[in-house]
Amino acid sequence: MGRRPKDYLKNKIKRPKMKTILQAPKGMPDILPEENLLRRKIFKAVEDLGNFYGFGQIETPVLEETKLFLHGTGPTSEIVQKQMFILKTPGKDLLALRPEFTPNIVRAYLENGLYNNPKPVKLFAWGPVFRYEQPQRGRYRQFWQCNFEILGSADPIYDALTIQIFYNLFTELKMKELMIEINTIGCDNCRPIWHKNLKNYFRSKRKFLCADCKNRLKINPLRILDCKNESCQSLKNGAPKMIDFLCPECRKHFKQILEYLEILGLPYNINHHLVRGLDYYTKTVFEIRLASDNLALCGGGRYDYLVEMLGGKSTPAVGGAAGIERLVEVLKKNNFKVENPYKPKVFLIAIGDLAKQRALKYLEALRKVKIPVAESFAHESLKAQLRQADKWEAPYVIIIGQKEALDNTIILRDMKASSQEVVESEKMIEELKKRFKNDNIENI
């Protein structure tokens, strides 16, 4: 006697079940298919720009030794002071989830001897970065950046080109009313004098500074200009400006960039308070934002000392990074239309077990000749599958019922003409191609 359903029930495995559904870590959103269609558009634009301007794509690990950022991003930067995710390995090494790309790219440039290539070396990258921030609009703990970096030239033409590339990225994505904020923060020759003047100025206003800035006053008064606190912000206007202390070389460099921007017809605003949050910048710093919003879409600048600081030969460099989520937000707001590029030309319907076997084989035959197909095999009835076919808007439907499966035929239905015909399965592809040609359906 065979087993009865009751016997099965008796032996059924009990699996442990979660009482609640788990959530992703705070500030680390999932990226769902619809949003990925938008993101793919962004990455495509990044890739096209990278190719056009002669950049090679680089990928670096998500984890790096913590000291890369302590040394590279800088000990007084907000990132290092407050925003790093640090992991201790079982071997007790300290690794940080990358909070940005530039030090990693410089590390890879040195480690892989990329400095042996003709200069400047142009690299682009994209991927997730991690910062321990309070999640809010445009601010996440895991977000993506795309980067463009140019290593090995001090020429201001590359500062202008970097800005142009980001500007182009945003205009390729149909963004309007963009504003470039630009400033210079000088070099090791002239910045210390500005530093001193800033320190004196803020010291005289100490009582109006927030607790963080009181601390910044001691370690790096430049950072005060970056503070988002209102009372500190209101002090900025009276603060000494770098432009009044520039050495002749930095002055010439800045002037040339502005001339290039004029020639390129790019809208810019010299923002004397722009210093940016990273310690390694020299000379140029810039951000691009929408005129109607304060959140920066991208930021960057020149970092002439970083390669040397990380153990290489003195190598001037310039680059920048854009936040993908901030771009997505603008695209959504602008109702930027993206269609799924995969449009099925055929919808495949199978009714019954034998028909499903045939359908799986036909699906592969169609894939081999690159005819895009959709299916909904989990729906058993013809009616339910036809409803799905309507949703996909495929111009042709192939129906395999019990009879067709046995006869090795298919029913080929022209959805537009509402006509159908029985075709030998061997001739399926030939017939489809013929019809596509008659209908002027491209690609085939």
Q: Is 105 in the site for ligand ATP (CB under 6 A)?
A: no
- Token pair 């035929």 is found at 409
Cα–Cα distance for residue pair 58/109, rounded to 1 Å: 10
From residue 378, alpha-carbon distances to 356, 385, 400 in Å are 10, 9, 14
CB of 150 to ligand ATP, least distance (A): 17
Prior bond of 120 cis (ω within 30°): yes
Is the Cα dihedral 361, 363, 364, 366 positive or negative?
positive
Q: Is 103 in the site for ligand ATP (CB under 6 A)?
A: no
Closest to 258 measured CA to CA, from 249, 269, 243, 248: 269
Binds ligand ATP (CB under 6 A): choice among 128, 138, 312, 372: 138
- Closest residue to ligand ATP, based on beta-carbon distance: 323
CB of 179 to ligand ATP, least distance (A): 13
Q: Is 266 in the site for ligand ATP (CB under 6 A)?
A: no
Binds ligand ATP (CB under 6 A): choice among 276, 283, 302, 413: 276
Pick between residue 133 and residue 155 the one whose CB is nearest to ligand ATP: 133
CB of 170 to ligand ATP, least distance (A): 11
Binds ligand ATP (CB under 6 A): choice among 69, 84, 97, 100: 100
Q: Is 302 in the site for ligand ATP (CB under 6 A)?
A: no
Q: Is 72 in the site for ligand ATP (CB under 6 A)?
A: no
**Side-chain-side CA neighbours of residue 432 (13 Å):** 30
Pair 439, 431: CB distance under 8 Å: no
Per-position DSSP letters for 421-443, written without gaps between them:
EEEEGGGHHHHHHHHHHHTT-TT
Could you tell me which stretch among 34-42, 53-61, 296-304, 338-346 binds ligand ATP (CB under 6 A)? 296-304
Which parts of 4-146 fold into alpha helices (H)?
5-11, 33-52, 66-71, 78, 102-111
Q: Is 277 in the site for ligand ATP (CB under 6 A)?
A: yes
Per-position DSSP letters for 110-156, written without gaps between them:
HHTTGGGSSSSEEEEEEEEEE-----BTTB-SEEEEEEEEEES---H
Q: Is 139 in the site for ligand ATP (CB under 6 A)?
A: yes
Binds ligand ATP (CB under 6 A): choice among 325, 350, 413, 428: 325
Binds ligand ATP (CB under 6 A): choice among 41, 216, 302, 326: 326
Q: Is 304 in the site for ligand ATP (CB under 6 A)?
A: no
Q: What are phi and psi of 217, to 5 degrees?
A: -55, -35
Q: Is 198 in the site for ligand ATP (CB under 6 A)?
A: no
Q: Is 301 in the site for ligand ATP (CB under 6 A)?
A: no
CB of 134 to ligand ATP, least distance (A): 9
Q: Is 298 in the site for ligand ATP (CB under 6 A)?
A: yes
CB of 226 to ligand ATP, least distance (A): 7
- Both tokens of 130, joined, read 């991690």
Closest to 45 measured CA to CA, from 145, 175, 179, 168: 168
Which residues of the chain form contacts with ligand ATP (CB under 6 A)? 100, 131, 133, 138-140, 143, 145, 276-277, 295-299, 321-323, 325-326
